[in-house]
Amino acid sequence: MTGLDCLREEMEKRGLSKVQIESKTAAVVLDIVANAGNKYEEIQKQETDATKRLKEIEESIREHEMEIEHYKRLLSKWESEIEKARERRKHCEDYIDEFNKSISECETPGGRDAMRIAQMYVNSVNVDTKYDNTAYIIGLASILSKGNINAIGELQKINKKLPKIEDWVEII
């Protein structure tokens, strides 16, 4: 127990009020009597500084905890994306295995070659519009029929059905 605590205890025994006991005056009087200089004010300043530093540390801890939570959510999202990618990869591998199996079961080497070419065609063509889709179907049919369908001729027939630019100008 410190000298200030002893003084406050004695003040309480002598009937002083709580406000009087906790006042700064009691500590200053003790400093004067003990001839210790301004130790009370120094200790009080240290306590204030320590309290301020404690609050700063607590705030820093809260910020770090929020950052950790952010990274945990980010990690969870990445793990989910990795799992989805693994599933897509597994699906692709299964598809490739099944395709290779179907190719090996084709009756002729020419049929296997046509299937390989068709698969390359399917993998390399992007279909963005209905016209692309029509051209895609005609091209795939041409590959699978080994050229018996004239894809260019079919596309020209389709394009003849479309109005020409001159026709659009007359409408406008």
Rounded Cα distance between 26 and 20, Å, is 8
As given in the structure block, the two tokens for residue 161 are: 């059905």
Q: Is the pLDDT of residue 151 over 80?
A: no
Per the structure, how many domains does the chain have?
1
83 versus 32: the higher-pLDDT residue is 83
Evaluate whether residue 42 is within a structural domain.
no
Q: Which residue type sits at 161?
A: K
Q: What is the mean pLDDT of residues 75-104?
A: 87
- Residue 2 falls within a domain, yes or no? no
Percent of the chain with pLDDT over 70: 77
pLDDT digit string (tens) for 17-70?
888 878 877 777 777 777 655 666 777 788 899 999 999 999 999 999 999 999
pLDDT at 172: 43
CA 52, CA 60: separation in Å to the nearest integer? 12
What angle do helix axes 39-104 and 109-124 make, rounded to 10 degrees? 150
Domain span including residue 153: 108-171
Whether residue 155 is contained in a domain is answered as: yes
Tell me whether residue 12 is in a domain. no
Residue 58 lies in a domain: no
Q: Is residue 142 part of a domain?
A: yes
CA 49 – CA 47 distance, rounded (Å)? 5
- Residue 16 in any domain: the answer is no
In this structure, is residue 22 part of a structural domain?
no
| pLDDT at 105 (0 to 100) | 67
